[in-house]
Structure 1
Amino acid sequence: MFFLKAATILILKKSQGEMWLKLKSFKTSIILYFSLLICASLTLLGTISYQTFSSFTEKEMVKNTTSITDQVNQSLDLYLNEIKDSLHFLAIDQNLITMLQDSVSEEAGFESTQDRTRISVLLNNIFSEKSDIRGYFIYNQDYSKQYINSARSIDFQSPFLKQVWQDFKETPYALQTKFYGAHKPDYYDNYDKKADSNNVITIAANIKDAYDPSNPNLYGVAVFDYNINKLNHIFESTQTQLGIESFILDKEKQFVYQTDSDLRLDEVELDQLFHNSAGYWTQMIEGQKMLVVYSTSAVTGWKTVNLLPFTHLDKNLSVIRNTTLLLLAIMIAVTIVLASVITIRASQPILKLVNFMKKVGTGNLNIRVERQTEYEEIMVLNRGVNDMLDKIKELIDDSINRQLLQKEAEYNALQAKMNPHFLYNTLQSISSLSILGRNEDIELVTHSLRELLQYSLYHMNEMVQIKDELHAVENYLHIQNIRYNGRIQYDIQADEHVLSFPVNKFVLQPIIENSIYHGLESKEGAWLISLVIKEEADDIHIMIRDNGIGIKPDKLGSIRQELALMGVRSGRIGLSSIADRLALRFTSKARLTVESEPGNGTTVRLIIPKPQPKEGIQENAIDLAD
């Protein structure tokens, strides 16, 4: 059928449109999902890496701070242990013990200059190279005696010295050492509270007869005042490098040393330092997250504590986070670009096929897609599309050929039907005219019949010029008018320049015949038929109107429904056959419509496209006027 081609093209257009949407979604989906997958993977990798590195960095910070704390503690222990050993060396000196025994004996009522000099020389030999010493001396609280290396004197009534003497008074053994935290050395006679603001750390050792354990007498206490500036020097490097705040606590939880005098810990935090010899934890101190690392001195038993703000770690993590985000952004951008490039490249064969299907959708079934491609699947798809188009074209051509054969058969049947029936009626009219002696009418009928038969038999082409079709209509009306005694009044109007345009043969005569037999024959009064042919824009409009009895609405609806089903009828001759023949010749551009009202006649309109210049019909070699 003719409209199978049109339907096929519409299906191809729809399929092509749907295919385009799916392919577009397919390409976009691949880019989107591929990008999302890579982005999610990179983000997950970046997050895990950041968390892992953060944890590693925090552990390293704890490790480094712990190491620093241990190093500081070891440095202090090494220095203090050296002082302690020196004091022990002093405390076991037999000459010193003898001198002290003599100085406190009942025979010696005062400290001899000779003893004083010897003790001073001994002390000077031990401590002269120690630049961090504030002062050192040996004293006996009970006898208010002192042995020092300078002209300084001490205040035996100082609460601190009384406490130190009392601590060692109860000590039963020799070689005992005690450490005292930071305090003011106010027992020196030259101490100035305003000018001398530095604290000292005191290391004291008892002097007893180490060679006679049974001797309980305490002959003196050696005191070493350690300048606290030494601690400042030790802690200064760590505080400058890492921003660490440090302090030292003695066994009584008293601050021995602080880098920040305003820093305070509550009682719970201080107690926690004495649960173990070393450790760490994190907590908020003065509104700031701190890492607390502590260690215990093996020499003094004091706690060395370092506080490291997490702001230092946060700065490093911020750099790492920003670097990670920047790298992620770059990698994501590169991934999206690569995904797009790869997807577009991979989808190029499909897009070519889409563009090809768009061309097919316009009705061009003669093109073929290139079968050779680098992708095996696309090659199979292209081969299948080409095979499908070959089959569709074959089916369409076969359908058109069958339709042409069918319409030719219908056309031949129309001619065969017209000839016997029409000839019978015409011959009967001639016989009647002969009986009546109307020779002129017989001559007119015979001439019109001869030209009509000549048009039917010798015009072998399906397409004729409009003027030839109009001439056949006039001959037909002449014959019918003789038969109906001149009741038919007709008016034929045609633009001069349309007379040479092509039209299907016998496309107007059947409509005139229907007007006479189905519209006018049952009507009383004048019979009017009007045929107008004119050019409008790119079309030729043909209108055939009669003033017959018209068509009932139900019958008119049936006719219109049948006309709407072009190409699906068979074996029918009439308006539907004319419509099919026009469609076969002029495709969907040709239209046939019927308008009618009962009692008001019927109007049939034909609209066919104007032919291109090369489509003109050659003049028939037979002269119809002869």
Structure 2
Amino acid sequence: MTSQPTATHAMTRLFKPLRQNLKYRLFLIFVLVISVPVLFFGFLSYKMSASAVQQDFIKYKSTIIEQISKNIDENINSLNRQSMAVYNNLEDVLPVLTTPSTEVDTRYLESYKRMDRYFQSVLQSNDRLDGITLVSMRGEVIYHADKQSGSATLMTVEQSPWFKEALDLRGFALLREPHVNEFIDVRANDRKPVLSIARAVIDLGTSKYAPSGVLLVDQNVNEIQRILENTATEQGEISIVLGESGEVVYANRSLSKEVVGQINELSGGKTANAFDYRLNGERMLTTFFESSAYKWKVISLIPYTQLQKKSLFLKKINLSLFIVLIVLAFVISIAFSHFITTPLKKLMVSFRSFQRGDFHTRIRVKGQNELSQIGNSFNVMVENTKKLIEQKYEMTLLRNQSELKALQNQINPHFLYNTLTSIKTVIDRKDHAHASIMVQHLSDLFRYNLSKRSALVPFSEELEQIRKYLSIQEFRFQDRFEVFYDIDEQVMSCRILRLTLQPIVENALYHGLEPKREKGEIRITAKAYDDCFYIYIHDTGMGIAPERIEEINAALEAGGGTESMDDGTDGAIGIANVNARIKYYFGDAFGLKITSAPLAGTTVKITLPNAKGANAS
């Protein structure tokens, strides 16, 4: 019962640094960013390489099998050419075939002897030949010679299908697939399968080229085996040679007729010369080639485990490379996370010191990156704050000038607090790329705010800063609002007080749009008419109650400061500050006016003089 809370507590302790420490988050992100692509592309590379190795092997094996088939064809062609040797001694062969047994004479015997010597010399000069047989038109074996010293029996082959077919071919060769010549009298142990070419012997002296008998030239089937044995094979490879009838001519492994029939049938229906076949549950790569001359098939079956061994070295290389890259990823991730978080830690320590009232704290700045710019801005902010406090005690300013500086100081910390809150929200979502952009924009806003130039700036410059501010807020609010601009080109050079737009836009976001669940809009319009320059900031937010609008507008018209509009919300303070500054610089004829209604949005109208050359310090 206590194991589950213990496990939960352990997981909480494990992920606690990840939730609280930016360094661990960055480290994890860098590791994932580097290792995931490496793993993906490594796996993809291995698969593609292994596939290429397999395809190359299939091409290689197909070439080998095709060459084996051609060697077998050449062997059969050689046997066919040997069968033509009968026509070199036709003057002796024809008398032996055509002389009846009752008419045997001295001339017959002399022809028989010369023919026998000739056929014996042919047998002895060609080690591929196993036997030569002559059969008369009556199917009687007239002559037989072989290397096993066998002799012909009295058996007739007149009714044998091959004999009739050979006669019908009238001199063309008939290939007989491996068989045993039953008409040869040898011991049972010496009866070996032979491959034969049967050819009708044609009497070229007659006009009709009539057959006089049949010549049978035999070759031991072992010659086919020698052809395959002289070819390199893979471990576990099964080699098969099938005749045109589908019968096995040669196989280096005993296979059932059912398996052979399946392989033959599958190879017959394939357009490619390779396919998969499962033999006893083992996946086999099957390649084949069919002879175009004799329709024989040479088939090879190789276990896929042998192919996998060929690509094993690729797997080892990819695995080694992956391990090296992962180690590098860890090292680089640690270095980068340390590089990024160390300045942030220093900035956090300085902020805490500043929060405690230490105005002597400074950040040591190196480089020109965004974090360095924030550090510089922080140092300038602390220095300026220190100077303002010192000035408060060391010198007395005019009342209006003191009020202006006090109003500016109220705006800046308020903006800083809200912006840093937005950046923290984005960082909590682990969106570090966008956080970096927000930090850059914040740095630019700090530089703009703390610039020692005049208080009046071109409207284009103020508008650019408000775009950056809204860009920061868009990251936080996640597309919960859209911004539209309607700006006359002629007002871009008009002068405006620094930080006039930002408090109003901020108020529209946080008090107008944020409480509203639906997606909202902010519209910024700037127009110039005669001597006045008007800016309208409209939001589609929650709106303000009519009685409250009357109070705010009355206070703005009277030029009241923050005290007269302080209702406990930052929004009222920001609007009052902007209104007071405008009236101080340009007079009571200018300032802010608000129109609103509950759930109908709010519009803030800013009236300024249309003075493009105005300047104030």
Q: What TM-score, normalized to structure 1?
A: 0.53
Q: Quickly say closer, same or farther: Cα 1:321–1:376, change in 2 above 3 A.
A: closer
1:284: which partner in 2?
278
2:375: which partner in 1?
382
1:217: which partner in 2?
211
For structure 1, the residue ranges without an aligned partner over 5 or more in a row are: 1-20, 403-626
1:94: which partner in 2?
90
Distance in 1 separating the partners of 2:271 and 2:294:
12
Matching residue within 296, 300, 303 for 1:302: 296
1:78: which partner in 2?
74
Q: Deviations over 1:121-157 (max 9, x none)?
A: 2223333233243333333353441143675312352
Give the CA RMSD over aligned residues: 3.6
Q: Quickly say closer, same or farther: Cα 1:158–1:41, change in 2 above 3 A.
A: farther
Runs of 4+ in 1 over 6 A off after TM superposition: 21-24, 158-161, 398-402
Matching residue within 62, 66, 72 for 1:66: 62
1:148 and 2:142 aligned: no
Q: Following superposition of structure 1 onto structure 2, how do residues 430-469 of structure 1 map, counting pairs within 5 Å?
A: none
The one-letter amino acid paired with 1:68 is I
Q: Quickly say closer, same or farther: Cα 1:267–1:104, change in 2 above 3 A.
A: same
**Residues 283, 290 of structure 1: 8 Å contact kept:** yes
1:45 and 2:41 aligned: yes
Q: 1:278 Cα deviation (Å)?
A: 7.3
Distance in 1 separating the partners of 2:206 and 2:271:
36
Q: Deviations over 1:403-434 (max 9, x none)?
A: xxxxxxxxxxxxxxxxxxxxxxxxxxxxxxxx
Q: Following superposition of structure 1 onto structure 2, how do residues 240-251 of structure 1 map, counting pairs within 5 Å?
A: 240-251=233-244
Instruction: Count matched residues.
Output: 376
Q: Quickly say closer, same or farther: Cα 1:36–1:22, change in 2 above 3 A.
A: closer
**Residues 178, 196 of structure 2: 8 Å contact kept:** yes
1:167: which partner in 2?
165
**Residues 178, 203 of structure 1: 8 Å contact kept:** yes
**Residues 281, 292 of structure 1: 8 Å contact kept:** yes
Distance in 2 separating the partners of 1:336 and 1:401:
55
**Residues 279, 295 of structure 1: 8 Å contact kept:** yes
Computing the radius of gyration from Cα coordinates, the structure with the larger value is: 1
Q: 1:252 Cα deviation (Å)?
A: 1.9
Q: Following superposition of structure 1 onto structure 2, how do residues 337-376 of structure 1 map, counting pairs within 5 Å?
A: 337-357=331-351, 360=354, 364-371=358-365, 373-376=366-369
Identity of aligned residues (%): 18
Distance in 2 separating the partners of 1:227 and 1:341:
76
**Residues 246, 304 of structure 1: 8 Å contact kept:** yes
**Residues 70, 291 of structure 2: 8 Å contact kept:** yes
Q: Quickly say closer, same or farther: Cα 1:44–1:111, change in 2 above 3 A.
A: farther
Q: 1:71 Cα deviation (Å)?
A: 0.7
Structure 1 residues 34-43 or 251-260, which shifts more? Answer: 34-43
Q: Quickly say closer, same or farther: Cα 1:241–1:45, change in 2 above 3 A.
A: same
**Residues 90, 96 of structure 1: 8 Å contact kept:** no
Q: What SS class does the counterpart of residue 241 from structure 1 fall into?
A: coil
Distance in 1 separating the partners of 2:191 and 2:344:
89
**Residues 120, 149 of structure 1: 8 Å contact kept:** no
Distance in 2 separating the partners of 1:117 and 1:124:
10
Distance in 2 separating the partners of 1:278 and 1:123:
45
1:139 and 2:135 aligned: yes
Q: Quickly say closer, same or farther: Cα 1:260–1:330, change in 2 above 3 A.
A: same
Q: Quickly say closer, same or farther: Cα 1:96–1:161, change in 2 above 3 A.
A: farther
The one-letter amino acid paired with 2:163 is W
Q: 1:93 Cα deviation (Å)?
A: 4.4
Q: 1:87 Cα deviation (Å)?
A: 1.0
Distance in 2 separating the partners of 1:273 and 1:376:
68
The one-letter amino acid paired with 1:74 is K
1:231: which partner in 2?
224
Matching residue within 323, 326, 336 for 2:320: 326
Distance in 2 separating the partners of 1:40 and 1:210:
82
Q: 1:266 Cα deviation (Å)?
A: 5.9
**Residues 89, 115 of structure 2: 8 Å contact kept:** no
Q: What SS class does the counterpart of residue 234 from structure 1 fall into?
A: helix
The one-letter amino acid paired with 2:246 is K
Distance in 2 separating the partners of 1:115 and 1:250:
38
Q: Following superposition of structure 1 onto structure 2, how do residues 395-434 of structure 1 map, counting pairs within 5 Å?
A: none
Greater RCO, CA 8 A, separation 6+? 1
**Residues 92, 112 of structure 2: 8 Å contact kept:** no
Distance in 2 separating the partners of 1:298 and 1:346:
72
Q: Quickly say closer, same or farther: Cα 1:300–1:154, change in 2 above 3 A.
A: farther
The one-letter amino acid paired with 1:253 is G
Q: What SS class does the counterpart of residue 353 from structure 1 fall into?
A: helix
Q: Deviations over 1:515-560 (max 9, x none)?
A: xxxxxxxxxxxxxxxxxxxxxxxxxxxxxxxxxxxxxxxxxxxxxx
Q: Deviations over 1:348-368 (max 9, x none)?
A: 433443444455566543232
1:560: which partner in 2?
none
Distance in 2 separating the partners of 1:82 and 1:283:
34
Q: What TM-score, normalized to structure 2?
A: 0.54
Distance in 2 separating the partners of 1:320 and 1:253:
40
Matching residue within 119, 122, 129 for 1:123: 119
The one-letter amino acid paired with 1:44 is F
**Residues 94, 212 of structure 2: 8 Å contact kept:** no
Q: What SS class does the counterpart of residue 262 from structure 1 fall into?
A: coil
